[in-house]
Amino acid sequence: MFSSGLHQFFQTLPERMGAGALAICQSKAAVRLKEDMKKIVAVPLSEEKNPTCKKLFGVSLQELQRQGLMENGVPTVVWSLVEYLTLHGLTQEGLFRVNGNVKVVDRLRQQFESGARVELQELGDVCAAASLLKLFLRELPEGVIPSALHPRFIQLFKDGRCDAQEHSLRDLIRELPDTHYCLLKYLCQFLTKVAKHHLQNRMNVHNLATVFGPNFFQ
């Protein structure tokens, strides 16, 4: 089920992302866009951060695991956001395309990193939660798919679309580090649910690939 859903997701990348995710990640335009997005989201803080806070963003998955900041095999912040979006955001029109308020997103980030209890349901802001999830993925040092495997993922879908692709993809994802494999599986299962509500949220597999492709391949 996982490999089948992943196969469908990755099949859309070449047609929705031009020369492919690898080319996008290497292009100067993509680098500029990535830096601009970071500037938009990163709001200067007037107060010093609590030195006891644990950094969650921009930290490798292996380091998060070492610090015990995982839940069911995925980063705690990802788990919290996805569970909230699953309950309250699947039918939200423009999910992942409509950005949340910058200040609200930054406040959420601070709350997660401070270790405080984050009440997403009380906030009731689906767009902010979705934006924070994208920000977390965008700031992963190695991305969801490690850069060493980028060429092989892209080449797999340049070779043509045949029944053997899904089997080859299954073999390839087995080479992912455990932390990356668990995160990729969890996200693809979630995005499959999002796509099933595409009539309401306007986010079919093609649109999701457009949004998440650059976040998976950095």
What's the confidence (pLDDT) of residue 212? 95
What's the confidence (pLDDT) of residue 83? 97
What's the confidence (pLDDT) of residue 117? 86
What's the confidence (pLDDT) of residue 88? 96
User: And the tokens for 20?
Assistant: 């492919």
User: And the tokens for 134?
Assistant: 């994208």
What's the confidence (pLDDT) of residue 6? 59
What's the confidence (pLDDT) of residue 41? 42
The length of the chain in residues reads 218
What's the confidence (pLDDT) of residue 153? 86
Which regions of the chain are under pLDDT 50?
A: 14-50
What's the confidence (pLDDT) of residue 217? 87
CA distances from 118 to 43, 109, 123 (A): 19, 10, 9
Q: How many CB atoms lie within 10 A of CB 193?
A: 13
What's the confidence (pLDDT) of residue 138? 96
What's the confidence (pLDDT) of residue 161? 61
Q: Spell out the domains of the chain, with CATH numbers in brackets.
A: 2-216 (1.10.555.10)
